[in-house]
Amino acid sequence: MKRCFRLTLFSAFLTLVAGSQIFAQTPSKIIIDGCLTGVQDGAHISLMKEEGSVGSEVAKDSVSDGHFHIEYAPEDTLLGNYSLMSFDDSFPSMALKLWAKAGHPISITGKNTLVYTWQVKSDIPEQQEWTYFINANKELWNAYQKKGVIRKGLMHIALDDNRSPEDKKTARKSIDSLDKVSNSIEYTIQKQNLALLQQGPMTLTRLEVLNGVANQIKWYQKEEFRAPVTKIYKGLEPELKIVYMDKN
């Protein structure tokens, strides 16, 4: 961690030097610095730009001595939706959700490959509010991600034509059992998120959380969520209702 701290200070120094040279110019890059422990050197970290339900890789780096650094120059200085993820086998098939814009540096810290719950330091309000919801369920999300890593390994076996039919059948049965546990964990998370949503005014970030709760009805037929979700929806401002309907 001391090594990461020194690297962060060095990065900050370089940023200050560069800033003094281009003072009064509009910031043009999204800059992300990450300090990780429990992640193997060489692990690939990708920055994805989210457009609707589709994400495309716009920048990447490999972990070196527990550190990664990503820079990306967007076409404008507007706030955008991004995510960090890794396609490596030791990572879950999930991504760290980011709100980012040029001129607003982001600092990432993590103690494992459970990328969805890595800590994000940012001055962007949407990111701070999202982090609040993630931290409220962090242990559950970590358990969910660990199941996801195991599931990824089992899927490799189930889809491997070189494995015996018995091995593939066993893997599929294990996946089914694992999915039941994961679904139960997610149910608990969304139940707790619903309680948190009922405690404060709705925002665009909270709409993202509400959408996750509503998916319990859509995908898993959890009808106990319908009445409270409907009540929250009816209380939304007209602009937020439009955004919510666009996502559903």
Query: Where does CATH 2.60.40.1120 sit in the chain?
Result: 2-123
pLDDT over 90 for what percent of the chain?
A: 81
* pLDDT confidence of residue 216: 97
- Residue range 235-241: mean pLDDT, rounded: 90
12-55 confidence digits (pLDDT tens): 554 444 444 444 455 799 999 999 999 999 999 999 999 877 88
- The larger pLDDT score, comparing residue 52 to residue 138, is at 138
Distance, CA of 169 to CA of 148 (rounded, Å) = 19
* pLDDT confidence of residue 4: 66
- Residue range 224-235: mean pLDDT, rounded: 96
- Cβ atoms of residues 216 and 225 within 8 Å: yes
The sheet carrying 96-100 orders its strands as: 54-62, 44-51, 80-85, 96-100
Is the pLDDT reported for residue 1 higher than 60?
no
- Fold for 2-123, please state it: Immunoglobulin-like (2.60.40)
Instruction: Give helix then strand counts, H and E, for the chain.
Output: 7, 8
pTM above 0.85, yes or no: yes
Q: Which of 118-132, 142-156, 161-175, 233-247 has the lowest mean pLDDT?
A: 233-247
- 109 beta partners: 35, 119
73-122 confidence digits (pLDDT tens): 999 999 999 999 999 999 999 999 999 999 999 999 999 999 999 999 99
Kind of pairing between the strands at 80-85 and 119-121:
unpaired
